[in-house]
């Protein structure tokens, strides 16, 4: 288990942390998907920024998970990494199945 995974496991034992994490779960999921797609494409944040005509810091904010990106931003990001976004709505009980 990585150090980060160990810390998350420890923090998630705290009810306040669990609730805050739950409130931002969608932001974290989207950020994780963006980062995974970019790294799978073999690109750095700077390369994606150049392709999108923006800055590396803007890509870092997009991947930061602190807020939900617009669909337009997700589409531009996907195009820059040679992918296309797919929106999928799942019933809450099947979210992590």
Q: Which domain holds residue 76?
A: 3-94
The position carrying tokens 């994606």 is 48
Give residue 42's pLDDT band: very low, low, confident or very high (50, 70, 90): very high
The total number of structural domains in the chain stands at: 1
Q: Do 76 and 91 form a contact (C-beta atoms < 8 A)?
A: no
- CATH number, residue 56: 1.10.260.40
Confidence (pTM): 0.78
The position carrying tokens 């617009």 is 70
Residue 33 has pLDDT above 60, yes or no: yes
Q: Which two tokens stand for residue 71?
A: 């669909």
């Amino acid at each position: 288990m990585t150090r980060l995974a160990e810390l998350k496991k420890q923090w998630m034992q705290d009810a306040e942390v669990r609730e805050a994490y739950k409130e931002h779960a969608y932001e974290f999921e989207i950020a994780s998907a963006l980062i995974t797609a970019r790294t799978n494409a073999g690109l750095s944040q700077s390369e994606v920024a150049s392709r999108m005509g923006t800055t590396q810091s803007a890509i870092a904010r997009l991947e930061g998970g602190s807020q939900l990106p617009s669909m337009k931003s997700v589409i531009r990001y996907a195009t820059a990494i040679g992918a296309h976004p797919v929106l999928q709505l799942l019933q809450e009980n099947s979210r992590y199945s």
